[in-house]
């Protein structure tokens, strides 16, 4: 949904870096101009590849994983004068190790983002107009009595959005 909203609101070129799988396939189909499959176990390789392919960096870096380690790396992907948006949900005790000098030197703007209740009307309008496509995100539907299978599907990262229906 976030990728679609970014495109609808003016992102000229959208690069999404995420683990390979159904979510990355879907974002490639729905919104991204470029996808970079990453492996969580070898972030160094992917970091070098992204920086090699985009040496100026990105205007906006949106860290949506909730991983403090990846959030720590977000500054290096932003271009001078760029923005870093901290969008993921992180553990309450998580801490970051950002260089104030790098923020100063690159003239970065860092923004935190949380649920915005004043945007519900606009969100509903996007859904009603089908500008934001959500039906393709639902990959599995389970009966309530099969919630165990639903949770296993979620844990295995085989699904994107899973619906549990009451019989």
Which domains does the chain show, CATH number per domain? Answer: 2-133 (3.40.50.720), 137-167 (no CATH)
How far is Cα 24 from Cα 155, in angstroms, rounded to an integer?
Answer: 17
Indicate the pLDDT class of residue 145, thresholds 50, 70 and 90.
Answer: very high
How far is Cα 76 from Cα 28, in angstroms, rounded to an integer?
Answer: 24
pLDDT at 84 over 80: yes
Look at residue 42 in the predicted model and tell me its pLDDT: 75
Look at residue 111 in the predicted model and tell me its pLDDT: 95
Q: pTM of the prediction?
A: 0.83
State pLDDT tens for residues 97-136: 999 999 999 999 999 988 777 788 888 999 999 999 999 9
Q: For 28-47, what is the mean pLDDT?
A: 86
Indicate the pLDDT class of residue 16, thresholds 50, 70 and 90.
Answer: very high
């Amino acid at each position: 949904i976030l990728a679609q909203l970014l495109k609808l609101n003016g992102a000229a070129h959208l690069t999404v870096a995420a683990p390979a799988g159904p979510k990355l396939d879907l974002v490639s189909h729905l919104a991204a101009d470029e996808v970079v499959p990453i492996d969580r176990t070898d972030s160094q390789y992917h970091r070098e590849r992204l920086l090699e392919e985009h040496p100026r960096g990105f205007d906006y870096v949106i860290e949506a994983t909730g991983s403090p380690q990846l959030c720590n790396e977000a500054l290096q992907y932003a271009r001078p004068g760029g923005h870093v948006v901290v969008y993921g949900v992180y553990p309450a005790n998580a801490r970051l190790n950002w260089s104030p000098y790098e923020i100063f030197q690159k003239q970065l703007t860092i923004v935190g983002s949380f649920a915005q209740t004043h945007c519900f009307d606009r969100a509903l309008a996007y859904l009603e107009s089908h500008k934001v496509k959500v039906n393709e995100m639902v990959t599995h539907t389970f009966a309530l009595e099969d919630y165990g299978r639903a949770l296993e599907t979620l844990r295995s990262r085989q699904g994107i959005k899973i619906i549990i229906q009451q019989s």
